[in-house]
């Protein structure tokens, strides 16, 4: 099929390249000339395993192009809207400026029978409102909502082989046709028996935000247990293993530590709570504000643990911070707990030297006041304390004996509970996990 993708951020760039990889003819469009220049040269503008490879192969095949001009969407049959919906400044609600601009920008370039497909995460009710805009345009185009569930770090795999597809479509013949068009787009995944849920706009929008709300709740649940474990002298990691054996609970997303961040979970639960208030049902998801609060407290706790471990004297102490990205295999530092902890410690007067395999450039742009080292050994050299905040494979594999020779004081706080306390203690370290004795 001929496809346009409006917005070439994490979601759109991966979607465009993956659709081309599946054999469609794709044009990716973004207002940022720097991004389009990089993508046109076959370079991923951010770190995402596997993206570079499919970009290069699709560009070579001639099936993938990029442009800054939305008029170049003309001629595509399916137009994906994959722009950002950030948190509004000073509010919990989502900012829909870019979604509205993308849909309105497409209208003059649509042909009869074209399908606009929203992928961005939006407050419930947005698709119905936009469908009216599309209908009033007289273009004969239809709107569908097809939320995306990709995880950063696995984005290409999640896009090409998703665990489910959700189509929010209008009732009647237009909806039937939209479903057929989407089935054609996702023919490869459907042939592999990917389940497809066909539903209305509101349900499709809610599926997305409720999935992220559930995941955030699961993480905050285990972090709440970590808070209790801390005062009760229990071990939250064993607790998670034990409750996780119950298949109804499951062990995934039960890793306690410094909490969740990124461009999705934090802003999505806030926007959901804000939208529920607008709908007069604020109480139904008010617990999400508690989920948010538990999550933010983990960062406070981490900072407190560092201060405590330094005997209350943080000023001028060298703190080696391992990790800046909000999770491993990503260079994304949006709402990253790791970067936040580094900034707070720096604010207390510590000499923070932070390192990360991929996220240093993005961190420098936001917080040039921090100290950075590209080499892990340089970050660890002479450190008074080591703080692990993003569980990159390299940090999990650190040898406590070797690291012990680099630092000034053998004190480590494992903000992701990924190190083996026995091995670190045996090497003479004071090891502290989060929610572990
Ligand atoms: C999340 C969802 O997992 C995706 O399904 C969704 O499509 C995406 O948001 C989105 O809305 O676009 P992502 O933000 O890439 O994906 O990251 P996750 O893997 O969900 O991790 C989020 C945060 O939770 C990270 O900071 C991670 O370190 C933290 N986390 C995760 C924990 O603290 N504990 C866990 O057990 C799991």
Give the model's pLDDT for residue 219.
98
Give the model's pLDDT for residue 35.
96
pLDDT, tens digit, 9 for 90 and up, residues 291-341: 999 999 999 999 999 999 999 999 999 999 999 999 999 999 999 999 999
Mean pLDDT of 95-108: 98
CA of 260 to the centre of ligand 1 (A): 7
CA-to-CA dists, residue 203 to 128, 145, 167, 215, angstroms: 11, 10, 9, 18
- Single out the residue of 71, 41, 38 nearest to residue 59, CA to CA: 41
- Single out the residue of 221, 227, 287 nearest to residue 254, CA to CA: 221
Give the model's pLDDT for residue 412.
98
Helices 287-309 and 337-347: crossing angle in degrees, nearest 10, is: 50
> Are 39 and 188 members of one domain?
yes
Give the model's pLDDT for residue 265.
97
> Are 332 and 398 members of one domain?
yes
The residue count of the chain comes to 437
> Are 434 and 391 members of one domain?
yes
CA-to-CA dists, residue 348 to 219, 308, 319, 343, 344, angstroms: 28, 13, 11, 9, 6
Give the model's pLDDT for residue 201.
98
Query: What mean pLDDT value characterizes the chain?
Result: 97
pLDDT band at 386 (very low <50, low <70, confident <90, very high): very high
Domain end among 178, 199, 220: 199
Which residues surround ligand 1 with Cβ inside 6 Å? 121, 148-152, 212, 215, 219, 253-255, 257, 259-262, 264-265, 326-327
pLDDT band at 54 (very low <50, low <70, confident <90, very high): very high
> Are 151 and 239 members of one domain?
no
> Are 164 and 232 members of one domain?
no
Q: What are the strands, taking DSSP E only, across 48-160?
A: 64-67, 78-81, 115-118, 142-145
Give the model's pLDDT for residue 177.
98
pLDDT, tens digit, 9 for 90 and up, residues 286-303: 999 999 999 999 999 999
pLDDT band at 276 (very low <50, low <70, confident <90, very high): very high
CATH assignment of the domain containing 176: 3.40.50.720
pLDDT, tens digit, 9 for 90 and up, residues 210-232: 999 999 999 999 999 999 999 99
Quickly list DSSP for 275-300: HHHHTT-GGGGTHHHHHHHHHHHHHH
**DSSP-based three-state secondary structure for 91:** coil
pLDDT band at 127 (very low <50, low <70, confident <90, very high): very high
Domain end among 150, 168, 199: 199
Mean pLDDT of 150-168: 96
Domain end among 136, 164, 199: 199
CA-to-CA dists, residue 85 to 98, 120, 268, angstroms: 7, 7, 9
Nearest CA to ligand 1 atom 29: 260
Of the residues 39, 131, 189, 264, only one is catalytic, namely: 264
> Is 8 a known active-site residue?
no
Q: What is the pTM of this model?
A: 0.96
Give the model's pLDDT for residue 62.
95
Mean pLDDT of 268-291: 98
The C-alpha atoms of residue 103 and residue 99 are separated, in whole angstroms, by: 6
Give the model's pLDDT for residue 331.
97
Q: Residue 350 half-sphere exposure, CB side, CA atoms within 13 Å?
A: 27
> Are 435 and 410 members of one domain?
yes
Give the model's pLDDT for residue 3.
98
> Are 188 and 229 members of one domain?
no
Number of domain units in the chain: 2
Give the model's pLDDT for residue 175.
98
Nearest CA to ligand 1 atom 31: 253
The C-alpha atoms of residue 153 and residue 150 are separated, in whole angstroms, by: 9
> Are 245 and 306 members of one domain?
yes
The C-alpha atoms of residue 248 and residue 318 are separated, in whole angstroms, by: 44
The C-alpha atoms of residue 141 and residue 303 are separated, in whole angstroms, by: 53
Give the model's pLDDT for residue 430.
98
Mean pLDDT of 44-67: 95
> Are 177 and 211 members of one domain?
no
Nearest CA to ligand 1 atom 11: 264
Mean pLDDT of 384-392: 98
Domain of residue 156 covers: 2-199
CA of 266 to the centre of ligand 1 (A): 10
> Are 218 and 86 members of one domain?
no
The helix or strand, by DSSP H or E, that contains position 131, with its residue range, turns out to be helix 126-136
> Are 140 and 188 members of one domain?
yes
pLDDT, tens digit, 9 for 90 and up, residues 177-187: 999 999 999 99
> Are 156 and 238 members of one domain?
no
Tokens of 152: 């950063």
């Amino acid at each position: 099929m001929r496809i346009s993708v409006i917005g070439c951020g994490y979601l759109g760039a991966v979607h465009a390249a993956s659709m081309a990889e599946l054999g469609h003819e794709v044009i990716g469009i973004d207002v940022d000339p720097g991004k389009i220049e990089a993508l046109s040269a076959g370079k991923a503008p951010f770190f995402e395993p596997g993206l570079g490879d499919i970009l290069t192969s699709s560009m070579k095949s001639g099936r993938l192009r990029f442009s800054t001009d939305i008029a170049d969407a003309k001629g595509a049959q399916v137009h994906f809207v994959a722009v950002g919906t950030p948190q509004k400044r000073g509010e919990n609600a989502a900012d829909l400026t870019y979604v509205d601009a993308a849909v309105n920008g497409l209208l003059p370039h649509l042909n009869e029978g074209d399908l606009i497909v929203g992928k961005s995460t939006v407050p419930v009710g947005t698709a119905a409102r936009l469908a009216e805009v599309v209908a009033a345009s007289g273009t004969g185009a239809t709107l569908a909502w097809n939320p995306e569930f990709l995880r950063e770090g696995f984005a290409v795999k999640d896009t090409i082989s998703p665990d489910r597809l959700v189509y929010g479509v209008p009732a009647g013949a237009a909806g039937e046709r939209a479903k057929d068009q989407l089935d054609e787009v996702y023919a490869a995944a459907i042939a592999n028996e990917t389940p497809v849920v066909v539903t209305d706009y509101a349900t499709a929008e809610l599926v997305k935000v409720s999935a992220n709300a559930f995941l955030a709740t699961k993480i905050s649940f285990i972090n709440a247990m970590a808070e209790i474990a801390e005062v009760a002298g229990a071990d939250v990691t064993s607790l998670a293993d034990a409750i996780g054996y119950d298949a109804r609970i499951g062990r995934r997303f039960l890793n306690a530590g410094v909490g969740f961040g990124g461009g999705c979970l934090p802003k999505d639960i806030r926007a959901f709570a804000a939208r529920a208030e607008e709908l007069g049902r604020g109480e139904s998801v008010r617990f999400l504000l508690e989920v948010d609060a538990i999550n933010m407290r983990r960062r406070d706790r981490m900072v407190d643990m560092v201060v405590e471990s330094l005997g209350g004297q943080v000023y001028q102490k060298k703190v080696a911070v391992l990790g800046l990205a909000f999770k491993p295999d990503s260079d994304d530092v949006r709402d990253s707990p790791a970067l936040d902890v580094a900034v707070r410690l720096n604010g207390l007067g510590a000499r923070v030297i932070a390192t990360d395999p991929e996220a240093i450039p993005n961190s420098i742009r936001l917080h040039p006041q921090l100290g950075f080292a590209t080499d892990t050994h340089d970050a660890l050299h002479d450190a008074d304390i080591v703080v692990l905040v993003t569980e990159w494979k390299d940090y999990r594999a650190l040898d406590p004996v070797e690291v012990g020779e680099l630092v000034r004081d053998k004190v480590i706080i494992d903000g992701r509970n990924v190190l083996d306390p026995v091995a670190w203690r045996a090497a003479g370290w004071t090891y502290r996990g989060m929610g572990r004795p």
